[in-house]
Amino acid sequence: MMNILTKKSILGLTAGVVILAGSVSPLAVQAVAENDGACQTPAMHQRHFDPEKIAQRIAETYDVNKDDVLKYCNDGIRFKDISKAAFLAKASNKSLKEVMEVKTYNNTWKDVAQSLGVTREQMKATRNDIAATRLENKLQISKQTSLALLQQGYRAHDIAVANALSNNTNKPISDVLAMKKINNTWHDVASDLGVDDNTLKKDMKNIRTAFHNKGFHGQHRFFMM
């Protein structure tokens, strides 16, 4: 009984310290009570991850403050949850802090999105904006061009491949995209355009590097209502 009471007292004290230290979300209080406060990341990345780099990537992707990301990370909140909160912050035009204050262990991120009044259309527009920005920064594809194509329903990866083939053949990117059908591959399209395998492989390698960030794939589909 003494051990149980001691543990409860310690957890209560820990949560209290967090609250006194500043305004934090209920999720942060729970997180601190469950771990030592070290930055958390999915198990698949445990061996090779740099909190500073991940925080910087989240900050750049969602236009939030890097120091705020690191603060929540050090409060014991997983980068996965911080990323979701940052996405909603961007979609709702609110601060990361405002979003985190809504999230608790008793609600879901979908609940948070609904509480913030974020619509499916806003989420889609935010995903497209993030993808178009990354296409521009990593592959030098005009954001305006990418946004127009994304809004037409093309996937970011297909836009990236079509752009590479367009650059190799001086053929408009829209014409290249039109060549990709449900019953053929990009290798088939490249072959039809006269692009050799070595060139295609090199382009694909560059595209994979640009897509390395998981956030680029629009993983926020779990918010769809």
Q: Is the dihedral of CA 59, 159, 172, 153 positive or negative?
A: negative
pLDDT at 88: 97
pTM for this predicted structure: 0.74
Average pLDDT across the chain, whole number: 81
Could you give the percent of the chain with pLDDT greater than 70?
73
CB 218 within 8 A of CB 127: yes
Per the model's pLDDT, the better-predicted residue between 42 and 195 turns out to be 195
pLDDT tens string 140-178: 999 999 999 999 999 999 999 999 999 999 999 999 999
Confidence of residue 18 (pLDDT cuts 50, 70, 90): very low
Handedness of CA 191, 197, 198, 201 (dihedral sign): positive
Dihedral over alpha carbons 190, 147, 94, 50 (to 10 degrees): 20
pLDDT score for 123? 96
12 — pLDDT class (breaks 50, 70, 90): very low
Share of the chain above pLDDT 90, in %: 70
Mean pLDDT of 50-79: 94
- 49-53, 129-133, 219-223: the lowest-pLDDT one: 219-223
Query: What is d(CA 68, CA 82) in angstroms, rounded to the nearest whole number?
Result: 10
Q: What's residue 209's pLDDT?
A: 87
Q: How far apart are CA 225 and CA 120, in angstroms?
A: 7
Convert the pLDDT of each residue in 35-50 to its tens digit: 444 565 554 444 567 8
Give the model's confidence band at 92: pLDDT under 50 very low, under 70 low, under 90 confident, else very high: very high
